[in-house]
Amino acid sequence: MDEYKIVEDGNYVMQELEQRTYHPVRAMKTGNVKARVGNIGEQIITWSVDENGNELVEKVNEVALDDKTNRPAWVVTKVDKNGNPILDKNGHPNEWIVSDSEFSKKYEIDKDNEGLYRPRRTFQIFDRVDKNITLVHRGKRMKISRGGYINLTNPDNIYGVSARDFYDTYEIEQVRKTL
């Protein structure tokens, strides 16, 4: 099994800049999700795969009250174009927790697809991970395999996205070069 280097989020960008490996990209989320208000204390395991396709526990998290809204966080599930939960090859749904205040910034009801939420059309800033890391943010740990991305848009909410999930749900902005 590959090693995962522990990286504190506050030092991540500075370390990458010093090593000249920081190459941010702008991307927009495009995939719809199902979502529900979670139950306080409910545990959600976010599953992914490593760069070899082996199952990987990205993080284990519990639904908590949002400090800003005093409402429970949301449990979000990645879905296919028909609104069915997407299961990985090991039968795990792709679920994660989003605080109540962040959820309303990121998603809105999809009026064309009952029960689904669509991402708000905003660009986010990501950096591609060139080595296996365990990102530590606010005392919580998340494994991100080589090839995944770290979302650096909001310094208060830094998190990783596996390569598989990134390419399934985000579109990278294409930069036009002029001569």
pLDDT digits (tens, 9 = 90+) for 164-176: 889 888 999 875 5
73: amino acid identity, one letter: A
- Taking Cα atoms as reference points, which of 40, 21, 9, 27 lies closest to residue 175? 27
DSSP state at residue 67: T
pLDDT at 34 over 70: yes
- Taking Cα atoms as reference points, which of 158, 172, 32 lies closest to residue 94? 32
Domain range annotation of the chain: 5-172
Question: How many CB atoms neighbour CB 114 within 10 A?
Answer: 8
Q: In this structure, are residues 162 and 49 in contact, taking their beta carbons and an 8 Å threshold?
A: yes
pTM above 0.85, yes or no: no
Q: In this structure, are residues 66 and 50 in contact, taking their beta carbons and an 8 Å threshold?
A: no
Tokens of 148: 């995944």
Of the chain, the percentage scoring pLDDT greater than 70 comes to 88
Longest Cα–Cα distance in the chain: 56
